[in-house]
Amino acid sequence: MTSLDRGLGRDDAMQLLGRQTEILEQMATGRGLADVLNGIADTFEHLVPGCRCSVLLLDAVTGTLHHGAAPSLPIEYSASIDGMSIGGAAGSCGTAAYLGTPVVAADIRVDERWVGFRPLAERFGLRSCWSTPIRGRDGVTGTFAVYYSSPHEPTAREEHLVARLTHLASVAIDHDGLFGALTESEERFRRAFEDNGVGMALATLDGGITRVNAALPALLGRSGSELIGRRLDELFIRRIDGVQSTGHDQYEATTRTADGDLLDLEVTVSAIRGAAGAPTALSVNVADITGRRAAERERRMRVEAEIAQHAAETANRAKTDFVSALSHELRTPLQAITGFTELLGTLDLHTTRRRTALDHIAAAAGHILAMVDDVLDIARIEANALPVTLTEIRLASVVEDVLAMVHPIATTERVTLTVATAGSTHVRADERRLRQVLLNLVANAIRYNRPGGTVVVSWVTHDALAHITVRDSGMGIRPEHLHRLFVPFDRLGADSAEGVGLGLPLARGLTAAMGGVLHVHSQVDVGTVVTVVMPTTAYEDGRPRNDDSA
C-alpha cells in the first residue's frame, strides 16, 4: 500500500487498486483520453456515492479550461463552463487552476468566487464544489472537481481518494500528450516517407532493406518486393565517397535498372537511434543525379574542346610565326650565298676577291647550318628526345673554352670579359651541351652590351648545387619584355644585333635537359644577370625546381 493509500480502509484501497489497474491497462492499449478520464471520475463517484465529478483540461496558452470528463453532470452544465477563463474569482475550478491550490466552496450560494457562476449552479442543483489542480510534468494541466447537491466539506477519506485519482489523471494527461506527439511524429514520418519524391528505404544496421517508399521502386524500375531483403552494398555500387560523420554517410553510387540502364545516384545513409541513443536501424535517401552528371560531363567536354581548340589555334599561330621568323632569318644568308654564287659564275674575279666571296658563302652556309642545328635541338627538347650524356665536368675548363671562343667578338664590340671565380668545382652535365649553353649566354651578354661594357662569369656552390652566373652591364630588359625572352626568334626589337633569337630558348631547354634550371634577372640601365643552376657531383636529392621567373 502506498503512502497515499494509508488513509483509506482496506476495502477502499483494494477497490481503488482494481480501478487503477483497469485505467492503466486502458492507457497502455491506447484508449482515448476522454474514456480514461471518465473512468477516473466514475471511480470516485463509485467510492463516494451521491457526488458528481468532472475533469477539466487547461489550455496554458489561452488560460482557459475545457471539458475532459463529466460522467454524471448535466451535459448543458458541462457545455456552459467549457472554455471558461481561469482567475481569482472563476468558481472552484477556474480559481484552483489559477492559484495552483485546492479550492473548496462548501456552499456555492455564499462563496464569493462563485458570483459569476452561481445562477448556473443553482439551475442544475449544485450546492457545493471542491476542485483540486492536476499537476503534470509542465505544471498545472487541469482540475478534478467534486460536486454535491448540498453544502459539504471534504472528509479525510475523500481527500485521500482525490489525491490518488488526481495523480492518476496527471499520468493519463501526460501520457496522452506524449502518445499524441508520438502518433503525430509517426504520421509525419510516414507521410514524409511514403509521399516523398526522393527514393527512400529503411534498413537494418547491416544494410538489409526492410521497407521502401513508392519512389524508390519507380526510380530503380523494380517492384518493392524485389528490393526488400536486398543489401545496400549489393544494390548500390559505391563510386565516390562524400560526407562522412557519426551516424551519417553520403556517397555517389551507380546501379542498373531492371531494363539495364545505368543510373548515377547520390545515396545518404543516416542512423536511426533508439531511446538509449544507440543506432537501431538505417534511413536511406536515394537521389537520381544521372542528368546532373551527364550535364557536368557535357560541360567538361565542351570546356576541354574549347581549350583544345584554343590550344590548336595558338599552336597554329605559333607555327605560322615560327615559320615566318625562320624564313626571314634564312633569307639574308641565302641571299648572300645566291649573290656571291652569281658573282663567281659571271665575273672573272681576282684570286683575292674570289677567296673573299667563297669565305662569305661559307660563313652564310655555316650560319644557316648553325641555325638549323639550333632549331632541331629545340624541337628535340620539346619532344623530350634530346640525347644528353651526364658526366663529371670541371667547370673552370668549360668556362675557359667558352671565353676563348667569344674573345674575338668581345674585342670587336669593345667589351671586357672577366672570370670572377676560380676553383675546382665539378658539375654533373653533358660537356658539349653545357658549353653550348654558356656560349649562348656569354655571346648574348656581349651582343646586347654597350661599348666599354663588361661581362663577368662567376660561380659558387651551395647545398650540392653550382650557381653559374653571367652578368653584363648592358641596357637591361624592360619588365614588359621579360615574358618574351624564351620565344624563338624574338630579339625584343633589337634587329641590329647579331643572332636570330634562339640563344635563350635553347639555353633554357638544354639546361633543363641536363637536370638544371635557368633564371634571368634584369634591370633597365643596369644590366642583366643570367644564372644557371646545375647539380654538382655531390648532388643526390634529384633535380632542383625549374623556375622561369625573371
DSSP states of 114-168: GTTTHHHHHHTT--EEEEEEEEETTEEEEEEEEEESS-----HHHHHHHHHHHHH
Return the percentage of the chain with pLDDT > 70, whole number.
Answer: 81
If asked whether residues 40 and 158 sit together in one domain, one would say yes
Angle between the 503-513 and 431-447 helix axes, to the nearest 10 degrees? 150
d(CA 225, CA 197): 19
Which range (51-65, 68-82, 242-256, 260-274) has the least confidence? 242-256
If asked whether residues 20 and 132 sit together in one domain, one would say yes
d(CA 287, CA 450): 73
Q: What is the per-residue pLDDT for 282?
A: 92
If asked whether residues 48 and 169 sit together in one domain, one would say yes
Count up the domains in the chain and report the number: 4
If asked whether residues 113 and 176 sit together in one domain, one would say yes
Q: What is the largest CA-CA distance in the chain?
A: 160
Q: What is the per-residue pLDDT for 507?
A: 86
* 199: Cβ contacts below 8 Å, ≥ 6 apart: 212, 213, 215, 216, 218, 219, 220, 285, 286, 287, 288
Which range (398-402, 420-424, 434-438) has the least confidence? 420-424
Residue type, 371: M
If asked whether residues 262 and 169 sit together in one domain, one would say no
Angle between the 10-28 and 33-47 helix axes, to the nearest 10 degrees? 170
pLDDT tier for residue 238 given thresholds of 50, 70 and 90? confident
196 or 383, greater pLDDT = 196
Q: What is the per-residue pLDDT for 294?
A: 86
Q: What is the per-residue pLDDT for 542?
A: 43
Full residue range of the structural domain in which residue 471 is found = 391-535
If asked whether residues 88 and 31 sit together in one domain, one would say yes
- The CA distances from residue 130 to 71, 105, 143, 358, 516, in Å, are 17, 6, 10, 138, 103
* Averaged pLDDT, 104-119: 95
Q: What is the per-residue pLDDT for 509?
A: 87
Q: Is the pLDDT of residue 12 over 60?
A: yes
Return the percentage of the chain with pLDDT > 90, whole number.
Answer: 45
* Averaged pLDDT, 183-198: 80
d(CA 212, CA 148): 59
Q: Is the pLDDT of residue 114 over 90?
A: yes
* Averaged pLDDT, 193-220: 90
If asked whether residues 416 and 515 sit together in one domain, one would say yes
With CA atoms as reference, report the closest residue to 173 among 144, 199, 208, 141: 141
d(CA 263, CA 257): 7
Per DSSP, what are the bridge partners of residue 250? 268
If asked whether residues 298 and 258 sit together in one domain, one would say no
> Over the stretch 488-513, which tens digit does the pLDDT of each residue have?
555 455 444 444 456 688 888 889 98
If asked whether residues 212 and 335 sit together in one domain, one would say no
d(CA 33, CA 114): 29
pLDDT tier for residue 387 given thresholds of 50, 70 and 90? confident
- The CA distances from residue 520 to 523, 530, 549, in Å, are 10, 5, 7
> Over the stretch 60-80, which tens digit does the pLDDT of each residue have?
999 999 999 999 999 999 999
